[in-house]
Structure 1
């Protein structure tokens, strides 16, 4: 079935272009036409009046952990789970992402490579879920951050072997831990873990296979090691400095800040283990400063939530974008970071991330104008994935007017 949206505001995310009262024509094959008016000779068209609504590309969450349960101590639970337990959670979570307008996720760590199997099941239609760009099991040093779900490796020979194993398993990208982390007990978040040489070996294997890389980073030295080694995206980056930012600009390295994740931990004192609270308290102020430093310098930014960490349930990307706006981004910049900016970070900008002819028909329709109020992203009316409706919440005219105001 071909769908035609009419009388609708279109945030194309292709440059700064916004079309007021435009039209979008699409089906399962992709976006067929977009503009002030579209033409078609087809007879079987579902026409949707978008008066008072806005259409924009489906959102991309660039940092999630399918199968991690968002409990106060997710690694403690994961340690005792089998692949079937994690797979069941991944299916449930994927559906929740989709219902929240997140039509693509980049998964940066799941035990047993369950995310790779889940991606395959979604792609053939066995289960309903978002597009998945899967890293599978992360690569960490022995005892490193996230070792519960990871491949442990030390030295260039071992990390090359681990990288090649993940590529053989079908990973879309490779995830590495360049520093310690908050969730791993006995682990200093600021401490470097893999050396620059080890990280470079992993990046070399990824490059040879035309794969991207993502590095978990908190401490400044580990951040710089990862950038110099050639990683595609720096995750979290609580402790950036000017030198690190200059390196990112020089290398074209993306930042995925995950601003929401530590806030959710601090919001639940007494629920999460005290060692997590202690770690976050020491670095959360620097996290905001680091994000602002990178943004003001022009570092490319992709939005991600770190879903799966404590109380970080699927579908909170709009909260992440609201924090980005609070910290200095314009609404359009925040939306771009979760659409075409995120697509560029995963090198899929020719397929998703903007409303252009020939791209996939992953679209969301919301009440009101998110360029004026970013929270309009919470007012979902339609979610389309590959041209099919996967979510519809009817809005009557009175409700529309109230939301627009």
Structure 2
């Protein structure tokens, strides 16, 4: 048994504690959270001093197979599977060292994520708790086709979902629109129609799996929501040269509980593509619409897709959302802890510091509830009670 003590604690929901709160951990789980700094007899004390304890962060959208370099697609193509898996291991360790204790990988090659998932399950220090989608389902030569997930038509899409379920993936990812990373596709245009998306949703839910849709285009978002997906990645409502929100779709997302899984955040000073920079003001307004409608928004990062998004970028996202989107620090922290835990169906284990939860704990210097930059000053990381930093 160990007792992890600091000056402050955020539980991942709404509760903020001061006065030396102490998390009691045994066998990888949180036994209790004490408010007075007391330590059970026989417990090993880890006193982190003037720090804040909070749940390990959850990045709901990463790509461990991409190296966050200038040409992530080309770099992956040049690697065989053994080299790609070694790169994924390194990316996972980078994320974990930043306090990101759970990641949802939404696109790998050859189901390599399943191998990495098994490794991190055996050894908590190997990387975060990993959820994986395998190769995303896409049209022939569609977005990320080079990952090996091409499927055209209703029956082919159904078969693709079945194949992933039989492999043991945690989530189904389908490319409802084109994307920024694949020449020949267009973000503002749909790839699949409503029939294919309904088939994918039906087959995923029949197998007990959540399904998320990559969708930038307004019509792709509308069709994905109508089809019944659990979440929409990006959800940016791109047109050919801008952003055009569809209020009726946003309201339906809020009403039916479809989660906006926004890929937000970049390292400071990173060069953002001009076509994205030109849309930032409109995207800020779009997020205000999500909030006003009451839609649930979680923040992933799309980590790996280029230099602005290394695999440890998520802590930067919290500060960026506070500065640019008007979230409070508590709202921003919930969007990278308890809310993505719920989206990932891990809310009985992850995303909060409470009795019975996994002892995935991040400790940072200072107080991220007043200054989100504190998340960048990591003092300790625990996964399943094992100190990994």
TM-score bin, normalised by smaller chain = over 0.9
CA separation of 1:63 and 1:82: change in aligned 2, threshold 3 A: same
4-13 vs 161-170, greater mean Cα deviation: 4-13
Whole-Å Cα distance in 2 between the matches of residues 364 and 28 of structure 1? 18
Structure 2, unaligned runs of 5 or more: 238-244
Q: Does residue 1:65 correspond to 2:68, yes or no?
A: no
Residue 184 (structure 2) aligns with: 186
Residue 35 (structure 2) aligns with: 36
Name the Cα RMSD after superposition.
Answer: 1.9
Whole-Å Cα distance in 2 between the matches of residues 116 and 226 of structure 1? 26
Residue 320 (structure 2) aligns with: 323
1:7-42 deviation per Cα after TM superposition (whole angstroms, max 9, x unaligned)? 53111123x211112221113330011131477754
Residue 397 (structure 1) aligns with: none
Residue 147 (structure 1) aligns with: 145
Q: CA deviation at 1:286?
A: 2.9
Q: CA deviation at 1:56?
A: 0.4
Residue 136 (structure 1) aligns with: 134
Contact kept? 2:28, 2:386, Cα under 8 Å: no
Whole-Å Cα distance in 1 between the matches of residues 6 and 302 of structure 2? 36
Contact kept? 1:182, 1:280, Cα under 8 Å: no
Q: CA deviation at 1:50?
A: 3.9
Q: 2:213 aligns with which of 215, 220, 227?
A: 215
Contact kept? 2:316, 2:376, Cα under 8 Å: no
Instruction: Show the 5 A alignment for 1:258-277.
Output: 258-260=263-265, 267-268=270-271, 277=273
Q: Does residue 1:293 correspond to 2:289, yes or no?
A: yes
Q: CA deviation at 1:292?
A: 2.2
Residue 232 (structure 1) aligns with: 230
Instruction: Show the 5 A alignment for 1:94-113.
Output: 94-113=92-111
Q: Does residue 1:314 correspond to 2:311, yes or no?
A: yes
Whole-Å Cα distance in 1 between the matches of residues 125 and 355 of structure 2? 27
SS in 1 for 2:7: strand
CA separation of 1:126 and 1:301: change in aligned 2, threshold 3 A: closer
Contact kept? 1:6, 1:49, Cα under 8 Å: yes
Residue 242 (structure 2) aligns with: none
SS in 1 for 2:188: coil
CA separation of 1:278 and 1:20: change in aligned 2, threshold 3 A: closer
Whole-Å Cα distance in 2 between the matches of residues 184 and 279 of structure 1? 15
Contact kept? 1:182, 1:279, Cα under 8 Å: no
1:227-248 deviation per Cα after TM superposition (whole angstroms, max 9, x unaligned)? 1111111111111421121111
Q: CA deviation at 1:299?
A: 1.1
47-56 vs 314-323, greater mean Cα deviation: 47-56
Q: CA deviation at 1:368?
A: 1.0
Whole-Å Cα distance in 2 between the matches of residues 166 and 201 of structure 1? 14
